[in-house]
Amino acid sequence: MARRNSFAISIAAAALMAPALTYAKQAPAADAEARAAATVEQMSADEKVVLTHGIMALPFVPGTVIPADGLPGAGYIAGIARLGIPALTETDASLGVSWVGGARADGATPLPSGLSQAASWNPDILYKGGAMIGSEARAKGFNVLLAGGANLTRDPRNGRTFEYLSEDPLLTGILVGSAIKGVQSNHIISTIKHFALNGQETGRKFVNSVISEAAARESDLLAFQIGIEQGQPGSVMCSYNLVNGAHGCDSDWLLNQVLKRDWRYKGFVMSDWGAVPSIASALHGLDQQSGEQLDAKVFFAKDLQTKAAIDPAYAAKLADMNIRILSQIFKYHLDTNPAKPGTAIDFAANGAVAREAAEQGIVLLHNQNGALPLAASARRISVIGGYANSGVMSGAGSSQAQLPGGPSITIPLGGDGPFAALMQIQYHASSPLKAIKALNPGAQVIYRDGTTIADAVALAKKSDVAIVFATKWSTEGLDAADFSLPNGQDALIAAVAEANPNTIVVLETGNPVAMPWLAKTAAVLEAWYPGGQGGEAIANVLFGKVNPSGRLPITFPASADQLPRPAVDGYNDLEPNFTGDPPTPDAKLNADYNIEGSDVGYRWFARKQQKALFPFGFGLSYTTFASSGLKVSGLNASFTVKNTGSRQGATVGQVYLVSRAGEAKQRLVGFARVDLQPGASQVVKVTFDPRILADWKDGGWSLPAGDYAFALGDDAEHLGTPVTFHMVARRWKD
C-alpha cells in the first residue's frame, strides 16, 4: 500500500511541477547508508559523540569560540578529520543566508517571505529560490541550510507566519518539498522544521499543543510527510513546543513512531536551538543536540558516551544516530564535494530570482474600476509612508537575510541581552519610490513619510494617484496582538483615501491584516515582505509590467472572533518571549488545537460557514479567467482554464473536495498554476493524494465509501458546481 501511495503523490507532483526540474546527483541512499555503517565501525568511543552535538556559532552568545573550520552562523558540528568527515557548518534559513545581526559582515540575496513565495502556488519558483539560496550558502562555506519551514499557519497572528508557507497541508507539503530539493541541489543538506505543531511564538519553549492523533495526521503532520517525501531533506528539526505533553525534541511519538517508523525517514533529527530537555531525548528519537550552549546541559557529548558504555539501549541508539548523520553527509556529498567559501556570488542573477518570486507572490486584493495597473498618463504621483523612499520591510529573527551592504534602515526596539541585536525593524535597500520613478521618468513623483496625516492628505489632494505603503513588522519570538496596522497607519490610509479616491494601498506585512478602510480605496496589493528586490517587483506590478498572479495561501479573517482562538493562547498573560529568552522551567500553557482539529484555516471557515475578509486562494489579475469542465474519475481530475480577458496572465486552478459521503467537508485536493495568452485555454490534469481525502483512524488512513463531491474554486469560498464520484471504502497504512 505504501508503494501505491508514494506513486500517487509523485504523479500529483509531476503534474504540478512542469517543466521538469533537474536535480544534482545524489549518492544512492543504500550506498550512503552502507558507507555510514562501515564508518561507524571505525569510530572510537570519543569519535561517536562528535557528530551528535554542537554549538550555536555566534560570537554574541557569551563564551562562544568559533573553531577555525567554522563560520559565524547558526551552528557548528565538529567533523572527524581522521575519517574524512567534514564539520557541519549551519546557517539559517528559508529566506536566504541569514544576516545574524551582521555577525559575518557579508550579505546575501533575501527571498520574499514564505507566504509570498507560497502565494505563487508555483513549485518551480520555490525550487529556483531554494537552489539560489543554497548556492549562496555553499559559496559562503555552509553545508547545512536550516531551510524548510513547514508549520501550518494555525494562528495567523503567529510571529513566524511570514517564514511559513500556508494553512494547507497539500500546498505546504508540495512547496516546501520543492524548496528543499532546490537547496539540496547544491550538495548541501536542508532541514525541514519545526517538527511539529509549532503554532505560536507566545510561550514557545513551553506551550503544549494539544491535539488528537487523527487531527494531527490529517493536517500539520501531513504537510511534513508530503514535504519529506517530495524534498528528501537530510535533516528534520524538532520544535521547541510540547505536543500532547512531550517536548517536540523529546517526543517518542513524533520522532520514533511517526517520523522514523511510520514514514521510514532515514535522515537525522537535529534539535532546535536550546530545545533539548534531557539525555533521554536520544532514546526518544533525537539524533543531534544543536545550539548546545542554550540548553541546561550538553547532554549528547560525554554524558551520552558514558551512558552508551553501560547501557546497550544507548549504545545501539548512538550507532544509529551516527549512521543517520553520516548517511546524509555521504548522500549529499558534503565530504567529496565540499562547500567552497569565498566563491563569487552573482548577486544580479540571484536578485532576479528573488524579484521573480516577489512578482509571482504579490496578491491583488482589490481593484475598483481597473484602478490598476496605473496608467502611464498619471503625471502627479504621491508615494506615502512605509519608508518607501528607502526600502521594503523584512521579517525578523533567525531567518532574516540582508543584502550586501546591510539593511537600508534599522529601527532598534530596545531590550538587552545577547539577542537584542535581533530585535530591530529592518528594511532591505530596494526602494519602491526609486523603482516607481524609474518606470515613470516623465511623471512628478513626490514622497511623504506619512507621519503627519494632514501633510499626506494635502499632497494626496494635489495628485492624480496616491500610493500608500503600509507596513507591519513581525518577528520570531513574538506574536501579533491583533490584525490592525500599527502606528496610526489605518487612520493615515483612511484620510488619504478620503482626500483622493484614487488611493492605492501597498501592504508589506508578515501576516493577514484588517482593512477597515478597504471600501474607500481604489486598489490594494498584498506585497508581504517582498525580499531583496521587492521595491522593483511592487513597481512592476503597479504599472502592469507584471500581471499579478498571487493567490492567498492563508485566510484573511474579517475579525478575530472568526478564529478558533479569538486571542493567541497566553498572549495576554505572559511576558513577551523575545528570541533566545531562556525557558521558564515551571511555566505551563496549553494551545488547544482540538478546537479546529484538522480544519485549519479555510477548512474551519467552511465548517463554521463564515465569510472571510479575503478567502484562501483569492487573488485578482489584470485579465480574467474561467475554469470549467471538471471531470473526476477516482483520484484523477481534469478541467480547463481559459484566459477570458485581454492580457497575458497566470492563475491557479484550484480543486476542492466539498463533501464526502453526505458530510460537508472542504479540502484543497489539487492545484495548478497556468500562464495563458489572451483567449488561450489549457486542460489541466491533477491526481489527488488519497490522504487528503481520508480520515486517520485506528493507526491508518481510511476512505469511507460514498459520493465524493468536488468543485473548482476561484478560491475557497467561490466554488463552481460540484461534480460527484462514488468512491469505494479503502484502508491503508503509511
Question: Count of residues binding ligand BGC (CB under 6 A)?
Answer: 8
Contact code string over 295-324 relative to ligand BGC, x by CB under 6 A? ------------------------------
C-alpha cell at position 577: 518571549
Which helix (H) or strand (E) covers residue 90, if one does?
A: strand 88-91
Q: Is 74 in the site for ligand BGC (CB under 6 A)?
A: yes
Site for ligand BGC in 160-179 (CB under 6 A): none
Q: How far is CA 39 from CA 62, 85, 677, in A?
A: 35, 10, 56
Angle at the Cα of 206 from the Cα atoms of 200 and 210, rounded to 5 degrees: 65
Q: What's the N-to-C CA distance of the chain in angstroms?
A: 7
**Measured from the CB of residue 158, what is the shortest distance to ligand BGC in angstroms?**
12
**Measured from the CB of residue 732, what is the shortest distance to ligand BGC in angstroms?**
33
Considering only residues 33, 92, 168, 229, which one is a binding residue for ligand BGC as defined by CB under 6 A? 92
Q: Closer CB to ligand BGC, residue 209 or residue 666?
A: 209
**Measured from the CB of residue 619, what is the shortest distance to ligand BGC in angstroms?**
28
**Measured from the CB of residue 86, what is the shortest distance to ligand BGC in angstroms?**
20
Q: Is 479 in the site for ligand BGC (CB under 6 A)?
A: no
Q: Closer CB to ligand BGC, residue 476 or residue 717?
A: 476
Site for ligand BGC in 138-157 (CB under 6 A): 146
What length does the chain have? 734
Q: Closer CB to ligand BGC, residue 327 or residue 579?
A: 579
- Angstrom distance (rounded) from CA 210 to CA 564: 14
Task: Report phi then psi at 566, rounded to 5.
Answer: -60, -30
Q: How far is CA 56 from CA 53, 75, 295, 680, in A?
A: 10, 4, 11, 53
C-alpha cell at position 632: 473526476
From the number of C-beta atoms within 10 Å of its C-beta (0-12, 13-18, 19+), residue 585 rates as exposed
- Angstrom distance (rounded) from CA 5 to CA 733: 9
C-alpha cell at position 418: 545577547
**Measured from the CB of residue 294, what is the shortest distance to ligand BGC in angstroms?**
8
**Measured from the CB of residue 578, what is the shortest distance to ligand BGC in angstroms?**
11
Contact code string over 540-579 relative to ligand BGC, x by CB under 6 A? ----------------------------------------
Q: Closer CB to ligand BGC, residue 74 or residue 357?
A: 74
Which helix (H) or strand (E) covers residue 39, if one does?
A: helix 29-41
Q: Closer CB to ligand BGC, residue 140 or residue 448?
A: 140
Among 155, 220, 272, 479, the one annotated catalytic: 272
Q: Closer CB to ligand BGC, residue 201 or residue 734?
A: 201
Angle at the Cα of 527 from the Cα atoms of 180 and 137, rounded to 5 degrees: 30
Q: Closer CB to ligand BGC, residue 114 or residue 386?
A: 114
Mapped onto helix, strand or coil, the DSSP state of residue 193 is: strand
**Measured from the CB of residue 671, what is the shortest distance to ligand BGC in angstroms?**
27
Longest dimension (CA), the chain: 81
**Measured from the CB of residue 100, what is the shortest distance to ligand BGC in angstroms?**
8
Query: Which residues of 280-391 form beta strands (DSSP E)?
Result: 363-367, 380-384
Site for ligand BGC in 32-51 (CB under 6 A): none
- Angstrom distance (rounded) from CA 468 to CA 420: 31
Helix, strand, coil shares, percent, the chain, to 5: 30, 25, 45
- Angstrom distance (rounded) from CA 337 to CA 24: 12
Q: Closer CB to ligand BGC, residue 219 or residue 400?
A: 400
- Residue where the block lists cell 507621519: 451
Q: Closer CB to ligand BGC, residue 194 or residue 660?
A: 194
C-alpha cell at position 544: 502592469
What sign does the dihedral 430-434-438-440 (CA atoms) show? positive
What amino acid occupies position 380?
R
Site for ligand BGC in 190-209 (CB under 6 A): 193
Question: Would you give the distance in Å from CA 1 to the centre of its chain?
Answer: 30
Provide the total of helices (H) and of strands (E) in the chain, helices listed first. 17, 29
Q: Is 136 in the site for ligand BGC (CB under 6 A)?
A: no
User: Could you tell me if 364 and 525 are in contact, meaning their C-beta atoms sit under 8 angstroms apart?
Assistant: yes
Contact code string over 245-284 relative to ligand BGC, x by CB under 6 A? ---------------------------xx-----------
**Measured from the CB of residue 193, what is the shortest distance to ligand BGC in angstroms?**
6
**Measured from the CB of residue 151, what is the shortest distance to ligand BGC in angstroms?**
10
Find, among 465, 456, 527, the residue nearest to 493 by Cα: 456
Q: Closer CB to ligand BGC, residue 93 or residue 152?
A: 93
Q: Closer CB to ligand BGC, residue 92 or residue 168?
A: 92
Considering only residues 225, 398, 521, 687, which one is a binding residue for ligand BGC as defined by CB under 6 A? 398
Q: Is 272 a catalytic residue?
A: yes
What sign does the dihedral 129-228-191-47 (CA atoms) show? negative
Mapped onto helix, strand or coil, the DSSP state of residue 101 is: helix
**Measured from the CB of residue 204, what is the shortest distance to ligand BGC in angstroms?**
8
> Which residues contact residue 192 at a Cβ distance below 8 angstroms, ignoring those fewer than 6 apart?
148, 150, 176, 180, 224, 227, 228, 231, 233, 235, 236, 237
Q: Find residue 519's DSSP bridge partners.
A: none
Residues that bind ligand BGC (CB under 6 A): 74, 92-93, 146, 193, 272-273, 398
Active site residues: 272
